[in-house]
């Protein structure tokens, strides 16, 4: 047509509207202000006093604060144990339901999200009552020593079991979102037809395709364990969150400084894992 008419084709380029970009910038600024202004105010509270002015001494006192190291180590240990246990329980169960009993998926979803309905106060009250009554009932049996061992203050296994129940809804949602993005049945059948065992299929075929979902579930679990106060306090243990509340009664600046550092620690861990998984996807 251009040769017949003698006219050269003119390329028409449509410019994208500027308003969506402006609105994205406004929303981003509002979200940044919502998160950063309270954090900045907390930081200013920890480093400034009207009498001495600006000082970073509260952050230096963290290393020598009584109970800081043991409580943080206890919370990290509880978080690691909770992550391992909840993934070992939930992932094989979800795979079994998807492969062999798909009609039970609604039932499993209701069971896994049920802890959201139960208030934490009621939950911990039931745990406390069960522990007291169980100690009396199991006293003549060999299980009494086991019941005492799970309440050891050095590493309370009862808190791990309680945290598994509390984080189960979040872990289920994360893993369910990851499983929806892949054809589990085809991958498992292909691995089994090639002679792979069930553990090999689980750890070498399914798990590598769920890296992002497993990372999300792990960080949600770690964040909940580091910030959980109600269950640990009412059961009489002192992990990191309980230690922060205990210190805040006498040393307010120190407790806020610890909270800021714990928040930054979680952010750095999340950024590091996101970077690692991003590189693996590119490779």
* pLDDT tens per residue across all 283 residues of the chain: 445 555 555 555 555 555 667 888 888 889 888 888 888 888 888 887 777 777 777 777 777 778 888 888 998 899 999 999 999 999 999 988 988 888 888 899 998 888 888 888 888 888 888 888 887 777 777 778 888 888 888 899 999 999 999 999 999 999 998 888 888 888 888 888 888 888 888 888 888 888 888 888 888 888 888 888 889 998 889 898 888 888 776 666 777 887 787 788 777 777 766 665 555 555 5
Radius of gyration of the chain (CA): 26
- Biggest CA–CA distance in the chain, Å, is 104
Question: How far apart are alpha carbons 76 and 97 in whole angstroms?
Answer: 31
pLDDT at 15: 55
Of 240, 228, 225, 234, which Cα lies nearest the Cα of 71? 240
Of 85, 89, 116, 78, which Cα lies nearest the Cα of 235? 78
Query: Rounded to 5 degrees, what angle do the CA atoms 108, 114, 115 make?
Result: 130
Terminal Cα distance for the chain, rounded: 47
Question: How far apart are alpha carbons 268 and 88 in whole angstroms?
Answer: 26
pLDDT at 16: 54
Question: How far apart are alpha carbons 283 and 261 in whole angstroms?
Answer: 33
Which residues does 264 contact at the CB level (< 8 Å), separation at least 6?
A: none
Which residues does 93 contact at the CB level (< 8 Å), separation at least 6?
A: 108
Helix segments in 48-156, DSSP class H? 57-60, 68-100, 105-113, 120-137, 143-149
pLDDT at 1: 47
Question: The pTM is what?
Answer: 0.79
Domain 67-241 has CATH 1.10.3720.10: yes
Of 72, 47, 71, which Cα lies nearest the Cα of 59? 47
pLDDT at 172: 93
Burial 204-231 (b: 16+ CB within 10 A, else e): ebbeebbebbbbbbbbbbbbbbbbbebb
């Amino acid at each position: 047509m251009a040769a017949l008419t003698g006219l050269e084709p003119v390329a028409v380029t449509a410019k994208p509207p500027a308003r969506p970009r402006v609105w994205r910038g406004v929303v981003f600024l509002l979200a940044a202000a919502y998160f950063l202004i309270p954090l900045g105010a907390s930081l200013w509270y920890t480093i400034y006093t009207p009498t001495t002015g600006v000082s970073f001494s509260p952050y230096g006192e963290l290393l020598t604060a009584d109970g800081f190291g043991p409580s943080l180590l206890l919370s990290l240990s509880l978080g690691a144990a909770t992550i391992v246990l909840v993934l070992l329980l939930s992932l094989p169960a979800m795979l079994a339901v998807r492969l062999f009993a798909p009609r039970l998926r609604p039932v499993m979803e209701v069971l896994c999200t049920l802890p959201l309905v139960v208030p934490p106060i009621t939950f911990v009250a039931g745990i406390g009552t069960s522990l007291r009554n169980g100690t009396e009932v199991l006293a003549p049996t060999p299980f009494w020593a086991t019941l005492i061992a799970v309440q050891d203050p050095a590493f309370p296994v009862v808190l791990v079991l309680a945290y598994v129940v509390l984080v189960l809804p979040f872990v289920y949602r994360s893993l369910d979102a990851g499983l929806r993005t892949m054809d589990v049945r085809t991958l498992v059948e292909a691995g089994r037809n090639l002679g792979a065992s069930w553990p090999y299929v689980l750890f070498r075929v399914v798990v590598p395709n769920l890296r992002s979902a497993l990372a999300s579930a792990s960080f949600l679990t770690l964040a909940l364990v580091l910030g959980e106060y109600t269950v640990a306090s009412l059961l009489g243990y002192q992990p990191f969150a309980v230690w922060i509340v205990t210190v805040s009664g006498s040393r307010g600046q120190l407790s806020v400084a610890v909270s800021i550092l714990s928040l930054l620690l979680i952010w750095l861990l999340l950024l590091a894992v996101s970077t690692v998984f991003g590189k693996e996807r590119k490779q």
